[in-house]
Structure 1
Amino acid sequence: MQTTWVPGADASGYGADNLPYGVFAPPGSPPRVGVRVGEWVLDLAGALGDPAFDAPTLSPFMARGSTAWRATRAKVSGMLGAEKGRAAAEPHLVPLSRVELLQPFDVADYVVFQGAAEHAACEYSLLRPGAALPEAWYLQPAGRHGRAGAVAVSGTGIRRPVGQLAAPGEDPVLGCSEWVDVEAQLGFVVGVPTSPGRTVPVGDFAEHVFGVVLVQDWSARDIEEWESAPLGPLAGASFAASVSPWVVPTDALGAARFSGREQAPEPMAHLRRAADWGLRIGLEFAVNGGIVSRPPGALLYWTPDQLLAHLTGNGAALRTGDLFTSGAVSGGEPGEGGSLLELTAGGKEPLRLADGSVRSSIADGDRVDVGAWARGMGGGLIRLGEVGAPLRPAAG
């Protein structure tokens, strides 16, 4: 089905039923907000005359709330979808090849959940061989706080981290991590803040969450292993996260939504789903250009509305730009792991890459990329963008 008059846009996965937002810098001009359509960026400040888009971040627009989000989306979709809107939009289309893509929003807080039962079971079994996930994991989402300052836009090189390491029975030493891993994740971007003490019910998810980004959360498994008790990992899990430059509006994912994976035991009342926020999103996880896994987003145990309800359940306030993630998206079948931890059985079964080399972790010079797609409201596929970054040697 054709959704736009922009040539080739529908076939690219960036038609008028998608319209992800991003921040771009045209040649010789300051950064501003636009939406992607095919291989073009529509300059929203020029096309709509709205000063909120003449800014180097999406945050002012995101803070306006869902009524403004939907009105703007409808207006832009009309301009790009109907021939009568062409005269107003076409002068403000900038070729994607001529712009620099920047981080799309100011990250306020960063929280990583553990939304996939398969990934959680893999991590838990490494700590306690043969043990099953505890019942508590199925009663409320597990998560940890990250560092907002560690989040960088796709393409930014990641430095191999340094931290304390210790082999069994040996004294710890300070050194470079030798077990760097990446998790393929879905990220959810908060637009509308809350005041301290207020909780967000599961049914209010769409009123607070602006859209979805792809996330690569980097970790140093060996540093994590040493520092895991009693509070859990810090240095090994907070040094870097990469985000895609495009934020896909939640309204673009209507055709991808479903009730979500069955949950047993039933969650407590405040976490019970009120709407369909399971997401049939397919991911591709690649190392050095070769796909090593296709994690299925539909298998996430905890859906994002539940994650948000839990995140605010203690009264913690939301801020515009908060980013919370699903954790590694993983399935139980071969080739569905969302991290090298799973794909290599904890490093015991090295992964063979397309060029014939093998990896049990990410090596210096390797590039990791994650892409994703979903069914669009127009009947075709929409792309959720791509996120990728190279691993560089530790800073000298």
Structure 2
Amino acid sequence: MSFVPPLSDFSILSKPVNGRRLASLDSAASAQKPKFVLDAMTEFATSEFANVHRGVHRLAAAATQRYEEARVAVQQFLNAKHSDEIIFTKGGTEALNLVSYAFLSPRISAGDEIVLTKMEHHSNIVPWHFMRERKRAVLKWVELREDGSINPSAVAAQITPKTKLLAITHMSNVLGTVNPLKEIIQIAHAKGVPVVVDGCQGAVHEKVDVQDLDADFYAFTGHKLYGPTGIGALYGKRAHLKTMRPFNGGGEMIAEVTEDKVTYAEPPHRFEAGTPPIIEAVGLAAAIKYLKGFDRAAIKAHELELYQYARKEIGRFKWVRVIGEAEDKGAILSFETTGMHAHDVATILDGEGVAVRAGHHCAQVLMERFGVASTTRASFGLYNTREDVDALIAGLEKARSILL
């Protein structure tokens, strides 16, 4: 079944950039939002909005229902067993920090180890550096193959009796590598090590089943999933969540507060202090519903066809080095251009209406592994077309003619 990009669903794609047709090739940073999502948020904000869980009036009850329906939507999207295993956060970064503070911190001591890979985003590195700084934990790094993939046996080799956590991405935001999570999680669990997965890219491009994966935690963000900014979610196994201390303190996350003591609500509300991102939760649920309206396998095939076309075309340029060519990778193309800085290339591409990302992509450990300071990255979403790829290739040729 072929997939036809729903370009009319994305109003921004019809708006010129620098007098040119927009080729939005930066979805790995943040995807564009379909009208379906924006309309759902506007309708809720203008006709149903109230604070949740705190009122008995009609609007409060309706808003609470919509908010909790969004939680169920995320539960079903990830195939979690229980809706109370879904915690709303302000993004993937907060979700990973929640695991660091509420789950790992009480369980780790000086000399204990955290295993992570060299392809991780800073959001899945810095929280563990906090444990290194504050608890004197030891970070151990899983090396990458030259194609940007991971050998599961390399993960096993880094795990010792002192290992308290494995942190790993589902899909690299730079390389596009899709890790064999199920196999790696089995290896970790066989050694008694829990696993937290950064799914901010994986949840967009791969079908996620947290029960089948047996992940202990799985974090993702809404804005890469064609949803709004300001919201993400953390899946955590119910048994873990019940033992974890609150991440933030304030309203909503309590059972009772007196002058002498405080008791905490059950998960997930224990971890959702204060007024939550209510409108954004409605938007996230709408984004999930929007995606469910398509054949996800057809979307993936479409994105990969564009990647393969772009990879073939860019292969004509002897002055381009592609970073990350793992087998069965996702639709992300990162490359270095000889004699040209990535920011200069991206600036010229912008003049041609082509939006890409340039820099270290919040993955400096990965950059160091491949001996580069920065790359230019084109990432593909469901709304991209061959015309976008052609604009990218023509823009790169123009960049070379200007810069060299």
TM over 0.5: no
Higher helix share: 2
Bigger fraction of residues in strand: 1
TM-score, L = length of structure 2: 0.22
Is the radius of gyration larger for structure 1 or structure 2?
A: 2
